[in-house]
Amino acid sequence: MTDVRGGRGIVAQMKRRGGRGDRSPLGTWFWDIDRMLLLLTMFLIAIGLIAVAAASPATAARYSGEHHKLAPLHYFWRQLMWVAVSLPVLFGVSMMPVALARRMALAGAAVLLVLLALTPFVGVEHNGARRWISLGISEFQPSEFLKPMFIVAVAWLLSLKARDPELPTVLITGGMTAAVAAMLMLQPDFGQTIIFCGVWMALLMIAGTPVRVMVGLIALAPAGLVAAYLFYGTARARIDAFLFPGVEGEGAGDHFQTDAAHHTITSGGWTGTGPGGGTAKFGLPEAHTDYIFSVIGEEFGLIACSIIAVVFLAIVVRVFVKLLDEQDEFKLLAASGLAVQFGAQALVSMAVNTGLAPSKGMTMPFISYGGSSMIALSIGMGMLLAFTRRNPFLTRSPYVVRWSGE
């Protein structure tokens, strides 16, 4: 009893003093959240605004017509608006209790799967692909929003294995992933298909799936790529353009894109031409989205590109270090999956920009222009922050531990 009263006295004293003793909702969030992870995310968002401002003149010039002139910073101002919308989403989701975030993800995944199935039939076409649904004033890309929701749903299903070892979680989640992959290929969106399948495989490994099952699934990966090459024209065109750059044909345009990206990213050298000084960016097809990393390389140099790559790596490593002592199976899987998706998307985007991977529509997280991408990433990062929250006061004060009954 003495400990309890003593604990209450200390808690009251710390509340009067502020700091970690502030147990208001905002104070609790501030001390529980991984502030370093949040800081790195905000750094990427700031870099993204600078990068979109650098890429905006080239994109505005490309999409301006004789009777429709876009302002040089048109895409920058629109991105600033999307950031203003996304930040409250990020903070709001990060404040959610784990159970509420999980329920939101499960419900969201169900709705978005239906929308994804409808997209090839009712979607808006851009550059030969139907990936967007028109909302009148803007366009909505279901696959972007589905990624974090789907990952949390798969993590929840895999975590149920601990309660019921007989539950066929590999078959259930594998069927879900195959269905999503089929719907994405209809759009077509080969890049997102790889991300969904890759994250599913990573979650199976983290969940402790038997080695024989993992070996079998890994052995199927080359067969899947061969099947995509033989029966999927978009994949065949891009792989041909990447492997046989001198061959004319269906994939010639993809070869042009990778060449233009490589020329742009290397034209600035180590330190870049300076803000607004780039000229090679005007030859890029999608300077503000898929090839924004090349614009950064031209105007801010390869050193800046290296720093951005290190920041992406630091975010992924930070998450996995935080999870080393995590005991909750669901939180472990959900946070791991979100971190893998975040890192994999950044890696694919950088590989395409540097010519290490075939051309594909893959935005760079928090840096590329796009409302769907920015809001969806904010939801994903918000859930990641929610799943990695720790309460340092409750874990470090012996008085409060006894008082809370632990």
**Ramachandran sector of residue 386 (left: φ over 0; alpha: ψ -120 to 50; beta: rest):** alpha
Q: Is the pLDDT of residue 12 over 70?
A: no
Cα separation, 183 vs 131, in Å, equals 10
Cα separation, 387 vs 328, in Å, equals 10
Where do the structural domains in the chain lie, given as residue ranges?
27-403
245 confidence band (pLDDT: 50, 70, 90): low
CA-based angle 146:147:148, to the nearest 5? 100
**Ramachandran sector of residue 87 (left: φ over 0; alpha: ψ -120 to 50; beta: rest):** alpha
pLDDT at position 247 is 53
Q: Is the pLDDT of residue 400 over 80?
A: no
pLDDT at position 7 is 47
Cα 406 to Cα 24, 99, 395: the distances in Å are: 21, 20, 10
Cα separation, 393 vs 13, in Å, equals 14
Q: Which percentage of the chain shows pLDDT scores above 90?
A: 43
Query: Sheet harboring 139-140: ordered strands across?
Result: 124-126, 129-134, 139-140
* Lookup result for tokens 């012996």: 398
**CB-based contact 71:60 (threshold 8 Å):** yes
pLDDT at position 243 is 66
CA 223, chain centre distance (Å)? 27
Between 209 and 1, the higher pLDDT residue: 209
**CB-based contact 258:355 (threshold 8 Å):** yes
**Residue burial 134-159, b: 16+ Cβ < 10 Å; e: rest:** eeeeebbbbbbbbbbbbbbbbbbbbb
Q: What is the pLDDT of residues 153-210, one digit of tens each?
A: 999 999 998 788 888 888 999 999 999 998 988 888 888 888 999 999 999 999 888 8
Helix (H, G, I), strand (E, B) or coil at 20: helix
Q: Is the pLDDT of residue 129 over 80?
A: no
pLDDT at position 26 is 74
Q: Which two tokens stand for residue 166?
A: 């007989």
23 confidence band (pLDDT: 50, 70, 90): low
Q: What is the pLDDT of residues 41-83, one digit of tens each?
A: 999 999 999 999 999 998 888 887 656 788 889 899 999 999 9
Mean pLDDT of the chain: 82
Count other Cβ atoms within 10 Å, centred on residue 32: 19
11 confidence band (pLDDT: 50, 70, 90): very low
Cα separation, 171 vs 169, in Å, equals 5
Q: What is the pLDDT of residues 328-386, one digit of tens each?
A: 899 999 999 999 999 999 999 998 888 877 777 688 999 999 888 999 999 999 999 99
302 confidence band (pLDDT: 50, 70, 90): very high
